[in-house]
Amino acid sequence: MHKILLIIKREYLSRVKKKSFIIMTILGPILMAGIMVVPIWLAMQKSDKQKVEVIDESYLFKDLIPEKDMIHFDYPPITLDQAIKGFYDTDYDAILWIPHNMIEGGKAIKIFYKKQLGIGSEEYIGTTLGKMLHDVILAKNKVDLNLIKSAEQYSKFNVITEKLETTGKSEKTNTGLFMGIGLGAGILIYVFIFLYGVQVMRGVMEEKTNRIVEVILSSVKPFELMMGKIIGVALVGLTQFLLWVILTTTLYSVAGITLLKDLDMKQVQKKEEVYTIGADLKYTDMKKIEKPNIVTEVMNDFKSVNMVEIFFTFLFYFLFGYLMYSALFAAVGAAVDNEADTQQFMMPITIPLILSFVVAQAIIQNPESQMAFWFSIIPLTSPIVMMVRMPFGVPDWQLALSMALLLLGFVITTWLAGRIYRTGILMYGKKVSWKELGKWLFYKG
């Protein structure tokens, strides 16, 4: 045991002192915090207001198009030709031309610009004019617009999902949030297993080709060397992950205090404009709609997720999923002399990982299906698939069974890898086949 600890210490310290480890440990949290904070920060920024010159030949929309913070409309009494001719002598960013036969389904509206309008402005113009024209046609056919508007509020329901327990107690859930947490955890495990598993394989190959392993094996057993290397790299990965969590949380909290302090977390009211279209077309839009801020909604929905349970479950599946796969990667590294020869042995190892990631994207649609159950129980796929299921809630017996089988899978794969490792680590210059690996499993001694 003492020798294994020495190997673990050597593997751990040699990797955490590398510049690449330090750089990635610092850059990782910055990138993750940036992904969370930057979109919110950008959404808070006020964009430059774009000025649009409206040439309305239909006379339906004059002085009626609602303005927003990002766009302003003017209605000069000139023709399209005059507007185009003097366009570059004005401070307008664009000309909006509405043809005279718009209501009869004539030509489409056009936007001439010298300064590109944002996609939001273009969509706003098209959507707003479409709604206004829709109201004009209804009003011309003597349809009660107030009735239409009051009915439209029922076209989209705010569906609230709650999980009902056998005790009768219910708890609000957010399927979209659960999907994000599950897939995010699955992706992290997928990346970490590949990243650090390959490090183990390359470390074994390097020691084998440099003949350093012959000196090391004079004082330790092959199995002790393999386990020390696997556990040492596992601790490196665990250290980096925990540092990422701490630094990302710290950076996000600081950003929340400094950049998001002006964000209004209270409920906001969305007011529809009152349109006046023609002398006889006058109506008041539907009443105020109270809508909670999206950030407030997400923060409240996080309360329905047991993040402590998910965190510790993640650590378990990350650690033992890594240990199981790393033993196999170490066996591959011991069996070959160069990286080009690893491809034939890497494929069977990577297929379950890739398959579990592909299946996970289908499982989020139905996390309690038979497919979800079996893939979260099988040790080779459970580290990723079970983490995808966790936010949706997993019965305790299924979680316990999955963990027990993963531990069993770790023991079996480590035993198999150890049998291959002890023979392959001292074998040089020979192309190894699957048949040869099979023989190594049953060598005595």
Q: What are the tens digits of pLDDT across the range 331-358?
A: 888 888 777 777 778 888 889 988 998 8
What's the predicted TM-score (pTM) here? Answer: 0.64
Mean per-residue pLDDT, 58-65 = 81
pLDDT at 296: 55
Q: Is the pLDDT of residue 236 over 60?
A: yes
pLDDT at 71: 84
Q: What residue type is assigned to position 11 of the chain?
A: E
Token pair of 61 as six digits: 């929309």
Domains and CATH numbers, the chain: 50-145 (3.40.190.10), 174-256+301-440 (no CATH)
pLDDT at 280: 41
Band (pLDDT 50/70/90 cuts) for residue 11 is confident
Chain centroid to Cα 18, Å, comes to 29
Q: What are the tens digits of pLDDT across the range 160-216?
A: 666 666 676 766 667 777 888 888 888 888 888 888 888 888 888 877 777 676 667
Token pair of 163 as six digits: 């999980």
Mean pLDDT of the chain: 77
Q: Is the pLDDT of residue 285 over 90?
A: no
User: What is the CA angle 384-387-391, rounded to 5?
Assistant: 155
Q: What are the tens digits of pLDDT across the range 399-414?
A: 999 999 999 998 898 8
CA distance 28 to 36: 13
User: What is the CA angle 70-74-75, rounded to 5?
Assistant: 150
pLDDT at 106: 59
Whether 104 contacts 98, CB under 8 Å: no
pLDDT at 124: 82
